Structure 1
Amino acid sequence: RGTFPNGQPGNIIGGVYEGPVEGTYACFLAERAIEKMKSFLNNPAQPFFLALHFFAPHLPYFLPESHINLYNPQDIPLPKSMNETFENKPIVQRHYAAHWCFDCFSKEDWQKIISMYWADVTLVDEQIGRVLRFLDDNGLTEHTAVFFTADHGAFVGSHKLSDKGPAMYDDIYRIPFITRFPGLVQPQFICSEFVSPLIDLTATFLDLCDIPVPSHFDGRSIIPLLKGDIPTDWRKEIYAEFHGHHFPFPQRMIRSKTHKLIINPADIDELYDLVNDPDEMVNQIDNDAYKRVKLSLTEKLYHHLQKTGDNFYHWMTSMHNVSASAQNTESSSFAKK
């Protein structure tokens, strides 16, 4: 752990768990899941649904001796964004770097911290393997759809940050999504379209059960994508919202495959060229060369907020370049209803 700006001990980043692997939370959760699935075997004709939520990999990284030295820190490359300068970036990011005591740790320290994060990922991966082997050993694999995702990613020194917070970089917003679905998804199949697991999975589960997806759902079934059939009207951009972590800090974001726009009412907005700057180091918000991209993303985000009844768009009505034909000063898109 480092030292807070006020001189107090900082947040604990990680350490050694002196018990066995079997005593870790990840192992405990996998064990509970397996025990639950054993009860399903009593009625094999009855469909089942099981949600298994691991806390790891997440700060603080407490690992047993068997895992804490699993990866050699000297072999771990540091992320390019660790060279972040915060130039032309919201000042809250600089404050968060101080909150997580980034400068208290050396390059070697960060390599060790990242190695612990990798080991935490491996620990979870091993436990997921136990669950999948149970399906294999009991003849359930061919009839069971398995989905793996996360609620957010993690800053592990990238952009001089840790954990998560008011910084809408891909490090925490681009999350893993893996599925095993015998008979539907081909092994090694990769979908390059925008999928939002946190809202699309609900619609997907309903689709799998032949239950109509309600029209008011924001998410869509991804079954066509898993089959390799991409609907012509599939989303070309993805949207995200943030309301605060340790304190209120509203943000809205639109991301295409090439650019990302972030609206920060409390500070400078952000625009990143994801093709030429995948690490999101240079904020192009004031660069005239990106004027058309900025306007296009701004209007798309504005329309999306109107459509979903997000009153955040009122801020954009007065403070951003939105065409007069798009402006709407009503309290929300549901006002007429």
Structure 2
Amino acid sequence: MAARARCSREALDAGPQPKDLPTVPLPAELQQSTWIADRAIAQLDELRESEDPFLLYVSFVDPHDPYDPPAEWAERFDWRSIPDPIPQEWDRATGPWQYAAFQDEKFELSTFDRETWLRLRAAYFASCAFVDHQIGRIREALSERGLVEDTVVIFTTDHGDVIGDHGLLMKGPWHYDKTVRCPMIVAGPGVAQGRRFDGLTSHLDVRPLVLELAGVDAGDSEGRALPIRESTLDTERGHERVAIETNTSYVAPADQVRTIITADGWRLTVFCDQAYGELFNLKVDPDEQTNLYDDPDHMGLRLRLTEELVAAMAAPAVVGRT
């Protein structure tokens, strides 16, 4: 029973033939992501007629389950070249009940063979590429309308997807790196080109960044503006720690999971009313395969991080700040 839905290489190579993955019987030009980009471009036509500053928020649904990119985009990704999922490191007998319940109740993940997993992952990557293409269309529209030199583009998302890593799918309440480390790209006038900031950041930092770009005082903010200019990239430090909260899950509407991630690479996650927890060293164990939560040599660190997490939860006004 303990190995029933393990996402190890042995489990991936066993099992029934792949299930048919969902497809959308529509060409790319009729997909929702295309429609969203079309509406954004149409909005740009209206906005350029005014000399007033503007903020245009464009929200794509994809990439998202059920992992159904247009067929012509899915064909660009050969599932045989896709890396296997990261193995499942938690045990069904001692791990969080949410993980096992999700495997059993939502997708019957124990029926997935290796080809199914890889086809699903290929479909996800195709969806990402399709959305990237739509964002490129919007960026090109800015250029064609003479707006690109005066417009800052911020690209990010609200969560990732484990797409089979750790024996799971989708977003949570699992706080594995692939679900909580989100892309963030800023481009435009005054923004350093081709540079990368490796400090610990949070989506709470987006609000003060947008206000700073607009010349507005952010005041007392939960986050702080991201360093995007040449003069700040090498001098600014990221947060010492960030806290993450999940208050529901696919298997329990009132589920509560809390995490703290530190600048020196530790992730501590606690599950409400459960003895199980997670403690990973993200620097030496980026695939999160060695859970040190119950390791005697790390009890002091676990206690300290737990205290820091409780303090962050008790003072939500400073969550995400150093």
TM-score scaled to structure 1, two decimals? 0.81
> Given that residues 88 and 283 in structure 1 are in contact (C-alpha distance below 8 angstroms), is that contact kept between their aligned partners in structure 2?
no
**Number of the residue aligned with 2:175:** 168
Q: Which amino acid aligns with 1:61?
A: Y
Match of 1:265 in 2: 272
Q: Which residue of 2 aligns with 1:37?
A: 44
Question: How many aligned residue pairs are there?
Answer: 294
Q: Alpha carbons of 1:309 and 1:211: their partners in 2 closer, same or farther (altered >3 Å)?
A: closer
Q: In the aligned structure 2, how far is the partner of 1:81 from the partner of 1:13? A: 23
Distance change >3 Å, CA 195–CA 309, structure 1 → 2: closer
TM-score (norm 2): 0.85
Q: Deviations over 1:224-273 (max 9, x none)?
A: 677315446x4211110110123211111111132111121222122112
Instruction: Check 1:245–1:230 CA distance in 2 against 1; reply closer, same or farther (3 A cut).
Output: farther
What is the RMSD computed on CA atoms of the aligned residues? 2.1
Q: Secondary structure at the match of 2:200?
A: coil
1:279-300 deviation line (CA, Å, top 9, x unaligned): 2222211111112321221222
Determine if the alignment matches structure 1 residue 307 to structure 2 residue 308. Answer: no
Contact 2:191–2:228 (CA<8 Å) still a contact in 1?
no
Is 1:102 aligned to residue 106 of structure 2? no
What CA distance in whole angstroms lies between the structure 1 residues aligned with 2:96 and 2:202?
26
Tell me how far apart the structure 1 counterparts of residues 92 and 286 of structure 2 sit (CA, whole Å): 16
State which drifts further: 131-140 or 85-94: 85-94
SS at match of 2:102: helix
Q: Aligned in 2, Cα 1:304/1:63: closer, same or farther, shift over 3 Å?
A: closer
User: Does residue 131 of the first structure (1) align with residue 135 of the second (2)?
Assistant: no
2:65 matches 1:54: no
Q: Is the 8 A contact 1:13 1:59 kept in 2?
A: no
Output the CA distance in 2 between the equivalents of 1:125 and 1:286: 41
2:201 to 188, 192, 195: 195
Corresponding residue SS for 2:127: helix
Q: Which structure 2 residues correspond to residues 79-228 of structure 1 after superposition, within 5 A? A: 79-82=85-88, 85-86=91-92, 88-98=94-104, 99-182=106-189, 184-197=190-203, 199-215=204-220, 217-223=221-227, 227-228=232-233
Q: Aligned to 1:289, which of 280, 297, 320?
A: 297
Higher relative contact order (CA 8 A, sep 6+): 2
Q: Is the 8 A contact 1:243 1:250 kept in 2?
A: yes
Structure 2 vs 1, CA of residues 84 and 74 (structure 1 numbering), >3 Å: closer, same or farther? farther
Q: Which runs of 5+ in 2 are unaligned?
A: 1-18
